[in-house]
Structure 1
Amino acid sequence: MQHTPRPCAAFPTSDPTRPDQAIVIGAGLGGLASAMRLGAKGYRVTVLDRLDRAGGRGSSITKGGHRFDLGPTIVTVPQGLRDLWAACGRDFDADVALRPLDPFYEIRFADGETFTARQNDAAIKAEVARISPRDSKGYAQFLKDSEARYWFGYEDLGRKPMHRLWDTVKAIPKFAMMRADRSVYAHAAARVKDEHLRFALSFHPLFIGGDPFNVTSMYILVSHLEKAFGVHYAMGGVQAIADAMVRVIEGQGGTVVQGAEVDEITLSAGRASGVRLVTGETLPAAVVVSNADAGHTYDRLLRNAPKKRWTPAKLKRARWSMGLYVWYFGTKGTAGMWRGVGHHSIVVGPRYREHIKDIFIRGRLAEDMSLYVHRPSVTDPSCAPKGDDTFYVLSPVPHLGHDTGVDWAVEEEPYRAKMLKVLEERLLPGLTGRVTESLTFTPETFRDRYLSPYGAGFSIEPRILQSAWFRPHNISEELPGLYLAGAGTHPGAGLPGVIGTAEVLGRLVPDAPGGVAPAALRMAAE
């Protein structure tokens, strides 16, 4: 069931004297989750979004009968969503159908080797032993390392506010013990010798915008997330999750307004007092949550407010995640073709370290590429016409802030042609004659559609000095009454991360005056 967006003319009645009014800027997954948390705490919530569908980067576009999921494609920690729904007195599984994927994905290396990731312990051990028997023991140790970092980095630090410096200082001894100074790749290299396995154990930071050779090894916890919780697909795509979130918000008495762009967060008596839209309308609120990119929030939406920490100069010095080139396309009559190609495939280019340097350090568009290929139609036939397929192919590329910037007006079509050539040679023979619908996103699209600084795919890069206290806080130190959610805040990007930002925010926002928070939410806040 798809949600019909409410037009921007349908604003709820605003009363500037009501202390239970809240506004959420942006109907991305972090914003929708925040609205659900606020609604559960007794607030009358209005979510404002400039796009025509809820979900932000997790929304979709339909062309010629093909539904293209624009951003996240998998659910790795379903419990985070179930906890969110439970805090609202709802049952997630009654609203969204998840399908476990097996295998999770297949990695295809340039030399012909493959690695198939599965949840089954015996199967994955056999896969490691097939590729490199001498690395079986090191792989087992890597998984133990991953689990330890999950309990510390995800369940402990990741689920509580980190806006007090002392909370990070207290964690330093544990960080040191766990060798947080190592990169993800360096930790993988310390455990296994085979380069195929080193890639398989270290590429995951790319899913949250991080350089595997520089992001702290705390992020190896992703391997435990996969192993412990599995990898799932939401039937109807992540759009189905976003639509279900809107229904919960509306069931709480809240409103989600599409086609409404916020131009500025307003101030009164030194506090956030609401928002002003690009149309000039002003909406008051006692609580304002920005799910816009943290950089956009501080640089644009608070452009007229004094700032001590997140100044334009500091934001310019920050390291931003890479950009993304994404090709969405449909194919005709291919449902029975490419039988060895499952829901997720990763086609690895001939270089790893040097290619990552091109993307993150040199800011150069390389001749070679590595591709993440999403084929949801093998699991969910509803995303394509009968007998056809729907694809989404992603290539990490430099963001727009490098001095050696890419001119995408020139490079967009040649890069798509290179991508097509790689796909035909390495994964989907005969693809050229089968493509019907086609759509591409470049970093410029991310800049213009999502208002992402530098067109970065995942906001601020999750390096160690841009994580926890060093990351934009969920409660703004710049303006009382303002809270932040989404990929650029703590704990970070990725579907579990942005849902987690709302959980942390829920611990910081007081209950609505006169309201009583549900017992489940109150217990979570203790």
Structure 2
Amino acid sequence: MNAISDRASLTPSPAARAASPHAVVIGAGIGGLAAAIRLGARGWRVTVLERCEQPGGRASVFRQDGFTFDAGPTIITAPFLLEELWSLAGKTFADDVTLRRIDPFYRMQFDGGSYIDCSADPAFMRAEVTRLAPADLPGYERFITMTEEIYRIGFEQLGHVPFGSWTDMARVVPDLLRLSGHRSVYALAARFVRDERIRAALSFHTLLVGGNPFKVSAIYALILHLERRHGVHFAMGGTGAIVAGMANLVTGQGNVIRCNTPVDRILTTDGAATGVALADGTTLPADIVVSNACTAFTYKHLLRDTKRRHWTDRKLTAARYSMGLFVWYFGTDRQFPTVPHHAIIMGPRYRGLVDDIFERKYLPGDMSLYLHRPTATDPSLAPPGCDTFYALSPVPNLAGDTNWETHAETYRQAIERRLIETLLPDLAGHVVTSRIMTPADFHTRYASTLGAGFGMEPILTQSAWFRPHNASEDVRNLFIVGAGTHPGAGVPGVLSTARVLDTVVQDVSHYV
């Protein structure tokens, strides 16, 4: 029996669990659910409190007119992290969730009609680069080799390690410099290839975790190798099937998830978290508190009455936050079989568009889109003969002056026109159900600071030791998971933040 299943087999009985120390987890997003599973496997009695009507957070599910929409993440690139969670709970991931490998991962279509299909197959990719920019093939292969080393250091060695001390950061500085961590992802790609389309294909991944490719450290080039090494997968039934499976693991451990239960504040005594006060005025004592809420919201709102030396309101206000997201979910009364499962539609500008969104906080007239067609893989997500889609556009967060109450429908129409111009020329007249989310909705529904899609922007000075720590610097017995702590956003990132709890949360015997 392996070490993981050994540990799961030692999970206390219900009677023993009732006497176990109590952990309150704020937020049932993927990070919060993963934290609850890991704590449950270590013998903690866990209560998960979720402000929304269902678990999942940004990975929740919308069902409308017979169509099923994943609200947020759609790509699984590190299935071994999910398999580990199921093993910790004494279960087998494949028994609950079926993953389908998507290859090519996605089609990246450039303005003007050229495109590149991205795959895990090295020979396929060499042919694609040669077709598009033959002179860049040698540089492309050198870049891919470098991302493998970046992945080895940045993900395998550091992705699950807490950066609780400045000395932890000091130890990795030589590797960061050697791997061009002081450069941006785009600048690193530009050292190796000249064609702007190939540069975009090698650098856009940081947008998937809320980062500006022209600002974010080249360490985030590890995402490209993560895709190539472990593949791009889709969960049959949608990402919501993974969330449902995780929620079942939590309750199967004898623990509790309470939805429609917003937390008003974290209670502290002598500088330590001692429980939470709910919005209805009741209190819930705890030996430790784990927050999967937006990190800035956790400190500025949930700890508003607590003196903080590190993450003060002033520091949080001065921090840089990721871009906002505008998502149009729509279903059609016909199918579009030539459209791939994942497509990226680039606009006429790359750097200029990104600068408008991140730096000027200005909503431009042009756009780049991620188009998700899950029914390409799982037709059950739409009525027979129909397709389910969502189109996601990076937009400024609420630090800009866009009034989404007045601009939302106009922007949706602009997205529809762009889709008709590119991958969906026959879309007009076939949309039969529609729903949108704007940064204002992210702020209201998820308590996301500035409506940011991914919390704090993962620039170098807001990464690793510089990011809010997994074990709070300000309040003892308070721990942070999710996009706002190390290692950051994206499904592998938030799963890894929960994995860090195994290191920073002491064994239950310490709290007895």
Counterpart residue type for residue 201 of structure 1: L
Superimposed CA distance per residue, residues 115-169 of structure 1 (whole angstroms, 9 cap, x where no aligned partner): 0011112111100111111111111111111110101011111111111110101
Change (3 A) 1:388 1:102: same
SS of alignment partner, residue 327 of structure 1: strand
2-structure distance, mates of 1:406, 1:244: 38
- 2:29 match: 28
Contact 1:19/1:285 (<8 A) preserved: no
Which of 347, 354, 371 matches 1:349? 347
2-structure distance, mates of 1:87, 1:305: 35
SS of alignment partner, residue 159 of structure 1: coil
Deviation of 1:217 (Å): 0.4
Superimposed CA distance per residue, residues 248-274 of structure 1 (whole angstroms, 9 cap, x where no aligned partner): 111111011111000000112331111
Contact 2:52/2:259 (<8 A) preserved: yes
1-structure distance, mates of 2:398, 2:239: 27
Change (3 A) 1:19 1:42: closer
Counterpart residue type for residue 391 of structure 1: F
Contact 1:377/1:389 (<8 A) preserved: yes
SS of alignment partner, residue 313 of structure 1: helix
2-structure distance, mates of 1:433, 1:418: 15
2-structure distance, mates of 1:219, 1:202: 9
- 2:422 match: 426
Deviation of 1:18 (Å): 5.6
Counterpart residue type for residue 506 of structure 1: D
- 2:358 match: 360
SS of alignment partner, residue 330 of structure 2: strand
- 1:478 match: 474
Contact 1:30/1:486 (<8 A) preserved: yes
2-structure distance, mates of 1:501, 1:23: 16
Which of 453, 456, 473 matches 2:452? 456
- 1:207 match: 208
Deviation of 1:287 (Å): 1.0
Which of 361, 381, 384 matches 2:382? 384
- 2:11 match: none
- 2:313 match: 312
2-structure distance, mates of 1:195, 1:340: 26
Change (3 A) 1:508 1:514: closer
Identity score, percent: 49
Counterpart residue type for residue 462 of structure 1: P
Deviation of 1:340 (Å): 2.1
1-structure distance, mates of 2:199, 2:246: 38
1-structure distance, mates of 2:194, 2:260: 52
- 2:5 match: none
Matches within 5 A, 1:83-98: 83-98=84-99
Superimposed CA distance per residue, residues 454-511 of structure 1 (whole angstroms, 9 cap, x where no aligned partner): 0000000000010000001110111111100000011000000000000001221112
Contact 1:323/1:443 (<8 A) preserved: yes
2-structure distance, mates of 1:515, 1:414: 55
Deviation of 1:181 (Å): 1.0
Aligned residues: 496
Superimposed CA distance per residue, residues 17-59 of structure 1 (whole angstroms, 9 cap, x where no aligned partner): 9661111000000000000010011001010001111111011
2-structure distance, mates of 1:103, 1:144: 20
SS of alignment partner, residue 429 of structure 2: helix
2-structure distance, mates of 1:287, 1:466: 25
1-structure distance, mates of 2:423, 2:260: 39
Which of 486, 504, 508 matches 1:508? 504
Contact 2:20/2:43 (<8 A) preserved: no
Matches within 5 A, 1:250-265: 250-265=251-266
Matches within 5 A, 1:113-512: 113-332=114-333, 334-335=334-335, 337=336, 339-402=337-400, 405-512=401-508
Farther off after superposition, 121-130 or 455-464: 121-130
SS of alignment partner, residue 359 of structure 2: helix
Deviation of 1:108 (Å): 0.8
Matches within 5 A, 1:15-94: 20-94=21-95
Change (3 A) 1:206 1:183: same
Counterpart residue type for residue 115 of structure 2: T
1-structure distance, mates of 2:269, 2:306: 11
Contact 1:42/1:515 (<8 A) preserved: no
Change (3 A) 1:19 1:248: closer
CA RMSD after TM alignment: 1.4
2-structure distance, mates of 1:24, 1:183: 35
2-structure distance, mates of 1:507, 1:280: 33
Counterpart residue type for residue 371 of structure 1: L
Deviation of 1:199 (Å): 0.5
Deviation of 1:87 (Å): 2.4
Counterpart residue type for residue 357 of structure 1: D
SS of alignment partner, residue 237 of structure 2: coil
Q: Structure 1 regions of 5+ residues with no counterpart?
A: 1-12, 517-526
Contact 1:75/1:231 (<8 A) preserved: yes
Contact 1:273/1:288 (<8 A) preserved: yes
Contact 1:159/1:491 (<8 A) preserved: yes
Contact 2:20/2:45 (<8 A) preserved: no
1-structure distance, mates of 2:264, 2:19: 23
Q: Structure 2 regions of 5+ residues with no counterpart?
A: 1-13
Deviation of 1:413 (Å): 0.8
1-structure distance, mates of 2:511, 2:405: 52
2-structure distance, mates of 1:147, 1:381: 35
2-structure distance, mates of 1:340, 1:507: 47
SS of alignment partner, residue 419 of structure 2: helix
SS of alignment partner, residue 203 of structure 1: helix
Counterpart residue type for residue 353 of structure 1: R
Farther off after superposition, 252-261 or 506-515: 506-515
Counterpart residue type for residue 397 of structure 1: V
SS of alignment partner, residue 508 of structure 2: coil
- 2:3 match: none
1-structure distance, mates of 2:486, 2:191: 28
2-structure distance, mates of 1:78, 1:132: 33
1-structure distance, mates of 2:239, 2:188: 32
1-structure distance, mates of 2:45, 2:68: 33
Superimposed CA distance per residue, residues 213-242 of structure 1 (whole angstroms, 9 cap, x where no aligned partner): 000001111111111111000111111111
Superimposed CA distance per residue, residues 159-199 of structure 1 (whole angstroms, 9 cap, x where no aligned partner): 11111110101111111111111100001111111111010
Contact 1:68/1:390 (<8 A) preserved: yes
SS of alignment partner, residue 221 of structure 1: helix
